[in-house]
């Protein structure tokens, strides 16, 4: 639990010093200070020997000059000055340092990293970075991202946390998640990772009660065994993208983060052994994370497809099969019930095609039957909102099924503003939506895999 307390302090410090705070609006040290002053729940102190006041806050010449105790120092000064700043932090008994600055081993200055680390170790200071974006916590609003919020939107509070070796990939995804309305708990960009790395954060997030699902973008892991152990211990689903899986990508990763991307097959086996869900892109990562965050696990791979547009049923059936799942066969009882409720030109099967003039009541009958059918593990519900028969009430019908939490449901829909309005309503009600049957089925397969993992864990 020591690692938990040490890392908790990075996300929930009472006081933060911004070393390298700047008056110029475009400078890293200004953007970080501004985001903290505007939103962070704790105390913030700018450090800059040449400024009197920034954003209405008194500046200090050094961390040591700040009157009260400082939990975390966020450092964005020139790399050459970082060891000196770390010495100040040590004397001040700062507990954690987030070093944003670049200019270390990635440009051949390994020496500066070693010197900084030596000072920190001796003083018991944990380091995140250098050459990173640091942290964003949607709850405490601890936020060291040096990208202004008008360019990079901050996501709403949620239960998905994201650990990223790449700042660029991480920040673009965070911005995208915010604009899609997806909730996030914590974001960590760990850069050169001279002290804390992905394994430490997996371990921390395992204990973090605000995190249900962990996402990770990794190019290379220094200590594979440790990563595997910490991943196994989490008990929470970890969805991982491995950058540099091809030879071309692996070479690119080496010149990017300096780590050896390693043989892809080794990573693949390692991920599988510790139940990590490997995906190839950030969209797919969030597709699965969202459903794991919102829906109950699936306790089998028998999927029922429900639709008012036959073509979506066909593509859905393809996607279910291609994602290693199978079409459920509803019980005779369910089918008899449905045949008494839907018109005779509807197709009571799987896909269950409610046809083009389906209304909310027809969806309700179908979902009622499915809810209690022991032959169905999960539902892929495709809705064409463009037809005249579908009223917004179908959102309530689907939400009621989801709220009962008997089995998971995802919605597939596509279109422009009218369809998107309804998709957004469903999302707000905890029903993940996807714009294609393929994405919806891939997300469901994540739930099936997680359900499988839970059953294995419960078994003796």
Site for a second copy in 26-85 (CB under 8 A): 26, 28, 31
Quick one: which segment of 38-46, 68-76, 227-235, 240-248 binds a second copy (CB under 8 A)? 240-248
Least distance (Å) between residue 95 CB and a second copy: 28
Distance CA 422, CA 175 (A): 22
Question: Given the rule CB under 8 A, which of 2-10, 342-350, 362-370, 373-381 is the region that contacts a second copy?
Answer: 342-350
CB-CB neighbours of 235 under 10 Å: 10
Q: Which of 35, 48, 275, 282 binds a second copy (CB under 8 A)?
A: 282
**What is the DSSP code (8-state) at residue 60?**
B
- Nearest-approach distance from CB 182 to a second copy, in angstroms: 11
Is there binding between residue 356 and a second copy (CB under 8 A)?
yes
Taking the least distance from each CB to a second copy, the nearer of 211 and 350 is 350
Is 314 near a second copy (CB under 8 A)? yes
* 384 makes contact with a second copy (CB under 8 A): yes
Question: Of the two residues 177 and 196, which places its CB atom closer to a second copy in the complex?
Answer: 177
For the bound state, the minimum distance from the C-beta of residue 363 to a second copy, rounded and expressed in Å, comes to 15
List beta partners, residue 90.
Answer: none
User: Which residue do the tokens 């009223």 mark?
Assistant: 391
Let me know how long the chain is.
Answer: 460
**Per CB under 8 A, which of residues 94..153 are in contact with a second copy?**
102-103, 106-107, 146-148, 150-153
Binding residues for a second copy, rule CB under 8 A, total: 90
Task: Say whether residue 248 binds a second copy (CB under 8 A).
Answer: yes
Q: How far apart are CA 447 and CA 348, in angstroms?
A: 26
Prior bond of 62 cis (ω within 30°):
no
Please select the residue that binds a second copy; options are 101, 257, 304, 433, rule is CB under 8 A: 257
**In contact, 357 and 346? CB cutoff 8 Å:** no
* 171 lies in the binding site for a second copy (CB under 8 A): yes
413 contacts 312 by C-beta, under 8 angstroms: no
Q: Which residues pair with 156 in a beta bridge?
A: 183
Q: Where are the beta strands (DSSP E) in 229-323?
A: 238-242, 277-279, 302-307
Interface with a second copy includes 166 (CB under 8 A)?
A: yes
Among 29, 129, 309, 432, binds a second copy (CB under 8 A): 309
Which of 60, 187, 217, 363 forms a contact with a second copy (CB under 8 A)?
217
Q: Which positions from 180 through 199 interact with a second copy, judged by CB under 8 A?
A: none
**Is 320 near a second copy (CB under 8 A)?**
yes
Segment lying near a second copy (by CB under 8 A), choices 66-74, 248-256, 334-342, 399-407: 248-256
Whole-number minimum distance, CB 13 to a second copy, in Å? 25
Q: Is 433 in the site for a second copy (CB under 8 A)?
A: no
By CB under 8 A, tell whether 247 contacts a second copy: yes
Q: Give the Cα separation of 440 and 456 in Å (integer).
A: 25
- Ranges assigned E (strand) in 174-232: 183-184, 186-189, 213-218
> CA-CA distance, 397 to 31, in Å (whole number)?
45
Looking at beta carbons only, is 332 or 344 nearer to a second copy?
344
Element (DSSP H or E) covering residue 394: helix 393-404
The alpha carbon of 330 is separated from its chain's Cα centroid by a whole number of angstroms, namely 35
Least distance from C-beta 412 to a second copy, angstroms?
A: 10
Q: How far is the CB of 70 from a second copy (least distance, A)?
A: 27
Q: Are 381 and 408 in contact (CB under 8 A)?
A: no
Q: Which is nearer to a second copy, 212 or 242 (CB)?
A: 242
Q: Does 8 bind a second copy (CB under 8 A)?
A: no
Q: φ and ψ at 313, to 5 degrees? A: -65, -45
The reply on whether position 219 binds a second copy by CB under 8 A is yes
**How far lies 95's CA from each of 105, 128, 165, 242, in Å?**
24, 12, 23, 31
Phi, psi of 247 (to 5 degrees): -60, -45
Stretch that binds a second copy, among 2-10, 119-127, 199-207, 345-353 (CB under 8 A): 345-353
CB-count burial class (<10 Å; 0-12, 13-18, 19+) for 75:
buried
* Alpha carbon distance 22, 255 (integer Å): 31
Nearer to a second copy, 95 or 302 (CB): 302
435, 452, 453, 454: residue in contact with a second copy (rule CB under 8 A): 435
Quick one: DSSP state of residue 301? S
Binding of residue 413 to a second copy (CB under 8 A): yes
User: Which residue in 253, 381, 444, 447 binds a second copy (CB under 8 A)?
Assistant: 253
Q: State the nearest-atom distance from the C-beta of 94 to a second copy, in Å.
A: 26
Nearest to 398 by CA among 416, 381, 374: 381
């Amino acid at each position: 639990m020591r690692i938990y307390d040490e890392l908790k302090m990075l996300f929930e410090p009472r006081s933060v010093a911004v070393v390298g705070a700047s008056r110029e609006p475009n400078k890293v040290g200004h953007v970080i200070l501004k985001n903290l002053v505007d939103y962070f729940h704790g105390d913030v102190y700018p450090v800059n020997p040449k400024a009197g006041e920034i954003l209405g806050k008194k500046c200090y010449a050094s961390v040591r000059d700040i009157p009260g105790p400082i939990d975390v120092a966020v450092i964005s000064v020139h790399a050459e000055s970082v060891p000196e700043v770390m010495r100040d932090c040590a004397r001040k008994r700062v507990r954690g340092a987030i070093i944003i600055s670049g200019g270390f081993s990635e440009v051949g200055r390994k020496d500066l990293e070693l010197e900084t680390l030596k000072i920190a170790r001796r003083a018991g200071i944990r380091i995140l970075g250098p050459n990173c974006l640091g942290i964003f916590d949607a709850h405490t609003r601890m936020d060291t991202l040096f990208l202004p919020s008008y360019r990079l939107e901050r996501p709403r509070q949620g239960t998905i946390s994201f650990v990223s070796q790449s700042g660029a990939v991480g920040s673009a995804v965070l911005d995208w998640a915010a604009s899609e309305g997806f909730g996030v708990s914590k974001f960590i960009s760990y850069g050169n990772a001279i002290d804390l790395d992905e394994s430490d954060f997996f371990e921390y997030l395992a204990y973090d009660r605000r995190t249900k699902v962990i996402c990770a973008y990794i190019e290379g892991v220094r200590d594979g065994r440790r990563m595997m152990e910490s991943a196994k211990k989490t008990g929470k689903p970890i969805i991982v993208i491995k950058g540099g899986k091809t030879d071309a990508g692996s070479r690119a990763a080496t010149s990017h983060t300096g780590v050896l991307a390693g043989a892809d097959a080794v990573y693949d086996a390692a991920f599988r052994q510790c139940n990590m869900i490997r995906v190839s892109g950030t969209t797919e990562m969030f597709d699965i994370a969202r459903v794991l965050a919102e829906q109950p696990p699936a306790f089998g791979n028998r999927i029922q497809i429900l639709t008012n547009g036959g073509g979506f049923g066909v593509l859905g059936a393809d996607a279910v099969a291609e994602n290693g799942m199978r079409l459920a066969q509803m019980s005779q009882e369910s089918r008899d019930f449905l045949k008494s409720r839907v018109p005779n030109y509807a197709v009571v099967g799987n896909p269950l095609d409610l046809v083009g003039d389906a209304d909310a009541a027809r969806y309700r009958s179908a979902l009622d039957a499915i809810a209690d059918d022991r032959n169905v593990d999960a539902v892929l519900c495709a809705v064409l909102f463009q037809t005249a028969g579908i009223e917004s009430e179908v959102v309530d019908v689907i939400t009621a099924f989801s709220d009962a939490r008997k089995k998971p449901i995802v919605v597939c829909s596509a279109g422009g503003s009218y369809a998107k309005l309804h998709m957004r309503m469903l999302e707000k009600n905890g029903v993940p939506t996807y714009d294609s049957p393929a994405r919806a089925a891939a997300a469901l397969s994540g739930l099936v895999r997680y359900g499988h993992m839970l059953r294995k864990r419960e078994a003796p």
